[in-house]
Structure 1
């Protein structure tokens, strides 16, 4: 189990983890390699998605940014097909300047993009603290190959830089494989070695639900406790607690920011923001959080987070941006409607949030290891489906579920998201994505409740459902996998 909870829950900007966050990380990683071309360094080939660079360095040609004369960027498959609506093109430019999706603020994005449009100049590597290579390069210079799929993954991108003598200094291919995770072509061996090393250090390594349950039973631990024990090989308990609290804070800030916005979402579909008005009406009708209104509140939270994501706001990949509203919505349910939640102390609330995120993260590991969380690879079942499954597990954990009940909750939620297609209208993460998050959040709550009514014994295992999801995604037509060439994307007129 080399994937950390902090790989699955990372802070980034919207609207897409695979099409915005991943390309920005890849572009930044490429520039870092170019910038250190006259040095040496040794890192693994794994970009874990936690905002840090972990590309394989190694000795390379003399040069660095000072030698760069020109740049070429090629985008393939889904990145090219829906990149405009997903903010891919501008994300690549920001990454080439050295911006990090983990730390960049929306206002910085706006300022940088305005400057790029005004001047037509890309300041390659400036945010890395290096003397930048100033190049004439804009969105229109990116070469698009929407019908060309590279072998490793549909979300492929290739960067190359030329020196003043017209020679290629460096050329690298990257793949954005979902949830902000990025893999560099040629780094697979070091990636595999890094994963094996991390797994060897963990007391309870797992890649299947069966292994996870066996660990929990054998050590008499909850799912959350198994995940925390593994996290301790990377961070102290204090760092784990603080990191999980930060994730929750960003989720809450994202939701609150959306409640202050009005008007329509960007992109041309003229989708009206509903969160502020819904919040006003709910606050009037339910000032004291009557449990009868629980579904209206989680609908609101899911809606708010995804409206903020659609604007390019700061969100938590959970495990992707397109599904970012589900876990915050179900976490809102856990912290407001769980038995005794109203009287929880600040510490008790913080501990419940940590339990939720750790259990959800453990389930997320299974999808990342056994299948995919990329809509471009397996359809929306890999994004919204996995998020619903993770959220159901987190809620079952907080509500006192046994490891078997937590696994059952996750299984129920995914079983009823199997086959979900990814067909965003106009390539925008708006329709059907925003409402889909609210529906999936309700499914997660119901799945947790159903699992807790039983004893954990059930006919279909989570591993079987994940295998089915993977096979369904493999068989699904490409037009239903984030290409906007099928489904609602072609049957609904953009207006």
Structure 2
């Protein structure tokens, strides 16, 4: 049994504003449509309905859940669709128009075919939805209940809720076992993750896939830094990342020193503003917390990777400089001249980001397996806390930290998010979510620095914190778990 979840599942490229309320329901609706097609039942379907329960029903409109359901029924996938195709797919659905299920069969559809049941909570998970396919005489031809369990992951009712080992060579149920595996095999945490990924893909495919994830993250940061205007929704939240970028660039042009901490916050704001706008976002491990890990990774990429504080350590085990040849992750050899330092620097940064992502995956898998990454299940400690710990672990790895320093960094970051509630105003992933990502990115850097100043030995283990996180989530009132029924959501006037 292993807690490990592939990086390509953890860091899935999708759309905003929510992994659990947008990406997950979209995947569930797509799965339902494809099952109808595969079974041959689709030809007899005249109408499709959907009921959103619990948190999906409570904050679904603010998260774009019904729009995602319509998009998924049409056959769109969050990884490949144009984000604009999802926005307002239900909100602006033309009255009297048919819905083309799985892109091949038209059925009657009205906006009230999607029902909201926020007070009904199914036992499988707070994020539940039931899709029903009806014949012309309103007889049910098919019905499935899905749970959106966080991070864009879905589970169909009746499926095993446990995480299968999937043939991974290095199985570990908790952090202590992970550290033991590293000791026994002389491997880093990133090595463990890399070998597990290579059970599913070639080494070259793993490297290319991780690069694609980083490119999508970096593109999201860049898009957010160069956008302005007001975010969708009645709160009329103004974008700030672009203005901060202009201020920092102006200060630098005037000779002021770069302020890495301010850029760190701008990177995080940029991602979560893009997410709130329904743009292309990478779950990390969720959309609501998607800005933390890319911000910390970009902070390392821009300010530390070439400074000698992390670049050299980032090379091993993905390659090392030997004469004029650079041995890269996957065994490729790229010839470079001594004068071509930028090529070498870029290659080193790429390898560092792979190490960062793999380390974050190995540690993040523990939160998903042994607690939760769903705000509707565990509060914001499950989303922002997990993301902060993953980012702290990744940064510590590329800064040359030992396995125990990496575990310590994750523990520090998570420990100080215990009890954090999820109370988005109006059900929108905007307040306090956007700023919260910037604050957590700073916390991740601080946690990494504290861990690197120590020797890896510490009193509270990561496993103890994960178990405390699980218990805290169970004890937390439902009104503080992504229902907009408590906290800021009821104490701030929505206008």
Q: Corresponding residue for 2:319?
A: none
CA distance in 1, matches of 2:153, 2:115: 23
What secondary structure, in the 3-state scheme, does the structure 2 residue paired with 1:456 have? coil
Q: Corresponding residue for 1:173?
A: 145
Q: Corresponding residue for 2:38?
A: 36
Q: Corresponding residue for 1:269?
A: 235
* 8 Å contact from structure 2 (residues 67, 91) kept in 1: no
CA distance in 2, matches of 1:339, 1:271: 34
Gap regions ≥5 residues in structure 1: 39-63
Q: Corresponding residue for 2:467?
A: 467
Q: Corresponding residue for 1:185?
A: 157
CA distance in 2, matches of 1:175, 1:93: 17
Find out whether 1:6 has 2:12 as its counterpart: no
CA distance in 1, matches of 2:396, 2:255: 21
Structure 1 residue 133 displacement after superposition:
2.6
Task: Find 2:64's aligned residue among 79, 87, 91.
Answer: 87
Aligned length: 459
Structure 1 residue 466 displacement after superposition:
0.5
CA distance in 1, matches of 2:255, 2:173: 39
Structure 1 pair 266/8, CA: closer, same or farther in 2 (3 Å)?
same
CA distance in 2, matches of 1:268, 1:157: 26
What secondary structure, in the 3-state scheme, does the structure 1 residue paired with 2:259 have? helix
Structure 1 residue 196 displacement after superposition:
3.4
Q: Corresponding residue for 1:196?
A: 164
Please give the residue correspondences for 1:36-115 in structure 2 after superposition, counting only pairs within 5 Å.
Answer: 36-38=38-40, 64-110=41-87
Task: Find 2:126's aligned residue among 154, 163, 178.
Answer: 154
Structure 1 pair 114/185, CA: closer, same or farther in 2 (3 Å)?
closer
* 8 Å contact from structure 2 (residues 67, 89) kept in 1: no
Q: Corresponding residue for 1:228?
A: 194
Greater Cα offset, 343-352 or 442-451: 343-352
Per-residue displacement from partner, 1:240-277 (whole Å, max 9, x unpaired)?
11111111111111111122321111111011110111
Task: Find 2:25's aligned residue among 20, 23, 26.
Answer: 23
Please give the residue correspondences for 1:65-464 in structure 2 after superposition, counting only pairs within 5 Å.
Answer: 65-110=42-87, 116-117=93-94, 120-126=97-103, 131-138=104-111, 140-188=112-160, 192=162, 195-198=163-166, 201-286=167-252, 293-338=259-304, 340-341=306-307, 345-464=345-464
CA distance in 2, matches of 1:166, 1:397: 57
Q: Corresponding residue for 1:41?
A: none
CA distance in 2, matches of 1:457, 1:287: 44
CA distance in 2, matches of 1:279, 1:429: 22
CA distance in 2, matches of 1:439, 1:289: 27
Structure 1 pair 137/454, CA: closer, same or farther in 2 (3 Å)?
same
Per-residue displacement from partner, 1:371-409 (whole Å, max 9, x unpaired)?
100000000000000000000000000000000000000
Runs of 4+ aligned structure 1 residues displaced above 6 Å come to 288-291
* 8 Å contact from structure 2 (residues 260, 303) kept in 1: yes
Q: State the TM-score, normalized to the length of structure 1.
A: 0.90
* 8 Å contact from structure 1 (residues 402, 456) kept in 2: yes
Structure 1 pair 3/339, CA: closer, same or farther in 2 (3 Å)?
closer
Query: What RMSD over aligned residues (CA atoms) do the two structures have, in Å?
Result: 1.8
What secondary structure, in the 3-state scheme, does the structure 2 residue paired with 1:174 have? strand
Q: State the TM-score, normalized to the length of structure 2.
A: 0.90
* 8 Å contact from structure 2 (residues 54, 126) kept in 1: yes
Structure 1 pair 465/119, CA: closer, same or farther in 2 (3 Å)?
same
Q: Corresponding residue for 2:314?
A: none
Greater Cα offset, 11-20 or 68-77: 68-77
* 8 Å contact from structure 2 (residues 407, 462) kept in 1: yes
